[in-house]
A and B are shown apart, each in its own frame.
Chain A
Amino acid sequence: MKNFILLNVVIYSIVIFSQSKLPKNHSLSNKLNCKTCHVCEVPTKKDPCLVACPRNQMVTVYQSADKTVNIVTLGELSKKYDPVVFFHRAHAQMSEMSGGCVTCHHYNTSGPIQPCKNCHQEERKREDISKPDLEAAYHRQCINCHREWSHENSCISCHELKKAGKVSQKIDVKKIKSKDHPKLKAPEKVVYETLSRKGKFVTFYHDEHINLFGIKCINCHQQENCSKCHDKGKPTLTQQLYNLPVKIHKSADQHHKPCFSCHSEDRCGVCHSNKPEGPFNHAERTGWALNRFHEKLSCSKCHGNSDKFAKLDNKCESCHKNFAAGKFDHSLTGLKLDENHKDLDCIECHKEKNFSNSPACDNCHEDKSFPKNKPGKEITISLKKKK
């Protein structure tokens, strides 16, 4: 009996121990549910009961598109055709607005990138038909996008026929000129003519949103179709957008969706107007004109992350925590304080620390006033753009 109990204890402790400590390759286990990869309740080493392919739920490796490998030759299956020269980097750059690396690398674990043939078998006649074979896996990644914009599905649009009698020529990747996706030409502004009765026009300054507000392309353009830019026979998108104004062509919800990620709490009038509007103007929009110091700054310098700009009050100290005697270098304003004024508290001249009003001298001097008299020497300052 004793032995039996002891044996039980040993067995249970093994079971508990083996379950609490996960084997290797489980670096994602804190992020993922066990069910993402395993079908059964208690996977064992012998029977891990893995899901056929957890696909994009597993992805952990993100690489910037510009740093990826430039050219890949795909020639494992080439019988009738020469290997395909695939411009990987150009495609990676394009994919940034349409799903990213996952679009093709759908099984991307924490380790190195998996080659397709690790999962997709070369033989078409095979036991496990739940996944496409290697040829199909390659083709499915390419053809649907390609035929979307080129309306072509012939083999020779990607493959070159092998020259009769010749052994397939080996492709020297170094000899091929590298190919980056050309820089995108974004429109400066787009005027939309909406169906809204009040405020028919929405003027969208595309360049401001990118350059001034610091919004990334992917924040709005997430699942873009290849054919949005590439479609043989259609004028390109940028050409379309320069022919102003653009008539509404999607549902109101679809048009509002990309804007609402930031503008959800704004009134309609913020975007909608009866005429095309000018660019962003801080004074008009907020009632607080930017002075020569502030107009050079990027929005995020004061308002924080571009995901959600923080509302600020007009008190200088809200941002300038160092506006105090001895800490602030007054010569930055173009006026170098003389010996008498150098160590005074800000409040002595700037009443209630309101720096937008002219400073007052009457606190100490009965016969002096600004700007007739100055508490120091005027100097020229160079305004450098602060980042």
Chain B
Amino acid sequence: MEKQSRREFFKTTAIVGSAIAGLSSNSTKAAPKNILSEDRMGVLVDTTACIGCRSCEWACKTAHGIETQSLEKYSDRTVFKNMRRPDVNALTVVNEYANHQNAQLPTDVKIQCMHCDHPACVSACIVGAFSKQENGSVIWDTKKCIGCRYCMVACPFQVPSFEYNKAINPEIKKCDFCFERTKVGKLPACVEICPVEALTYGPRNDLIKIARERIKRNPDKYFDYIYGEYEVGGTSWMYIGNQDLRNVAFPKLGDKPAPGVSEAIQHGIFAYFVPPVSLYALLGGIMWITKNRKNSEEE
């Protein structure tokens, strides 16, 4: 509820802002490097297949050169006692939630960057370091990054993390959809290692069809909802499960792209420099009036 009212607040502000500027809030401008290819890739996460072995966490760390313990140690299930978030030392984590249909089979959900089709981080990045690539990945250029952490604030899934522990040259870290691997025709590390193929890598459009087919064929097994199909304008990573994942692992988000609101405010306020010019004109006017008044008092 709180989030809703916050959103509502932003919406109203946007309308007011654009009304001042004399512009419609609907004219959202696309972020500069946001390529949205028809056959962009994605991953379908079938949480009914996921067994919570956390091999994906190990594979991710190994592929990204993050220090890790041996794979065998990952079978430790005590980590599920706490909810974890991706951070600089783990770009993806698996959390476990109770399954009310069958208490013996908890629901395991892997989380990482969702690779939005309309990424808020791309929009929020003031130096244009972030970009949505043709294959669906949302990546960033560390050389351009100035460490402002706007991306962290903008992300509706709160995914990007920052190396706070580094004093010199700290970097932003998040899942990069194994861009370096997919570039050379390999699968993302997590998809490759998953023993039950709970992660299916393929063209996003095909994945939606497959997800629908699975739900249709097994209406008792699946909750009829594909998380990520429409969330914040659609994401490359999509989830199906035996329960509504919006109640357990993910936030309830609308289907409007996340940058829509923030961009409308930014672009609205600064469009054609009308608001700054009018603000200065107003201030100048006040100055002129007070000066006139002083002059008349002196006389």
Contact = CB atoms under 8 A, between A and B. Distances in A.
Given A132-B197, A135-B195, A139-B196, A154 B72 contact: yes
A225 interface: yes
A277 interface: no
A155 interface: yes
A124 B187 contact: yes
Interface stretch (A142-150, A184-192, A195-203): A142-150
Contact of B191 (A124, A135, A155): A124
Interface SS, B side? loop
User: A129, A143, A149 — which one has the most chain B CB atoms within 10 A of its CB?
Assistant: A129
A227 B105 CA distance: 10
A96 interface: no
Given A129-B200, A154-B53, A139 B213 contact: no
B75 A154 contact: yes
Interface string B64-96: 000000001001010000000000000000000
A151 B77 contact: yes
B134 interface: no
B192 interface: yes
B286 interface: no
B241 interface: no
A155 B195 contact: yes
B194 interface: yes
A332 interface: no
A144 B75 CA distance: 15
B247 interface: no
Contacts of B52: 153
A156 interface: yes
Contacts of A348: none
A153 B187 contact: no
Contact of A136 (B187, B197, B210): B197
A52 B213 CA distance: 10
Contacts of B105: 144, 147-148
B104 A153 contact: no
A147 B108 CA distance: 12
B197 A153 contact: no
A130 interface: yes
A153 B206 contact: no
Contact of B104 (A124, A139, A156, A227): A227
User: B49, B104, B185, B202 — which one has the most chain A CB atoms within 10 A of its CB?
Assistant: B104
Contacts of A156: 72, 75
A378 interface: no
* Complex A-B, nearest 10 residue pairs according to Cβ-Cβ distance, in ascending order: A136-B197, A154-B75, A148-B104, A129-B202, A153-B51, A132-B197, A139-B196, A153-B53, A139-B195, A227-B104
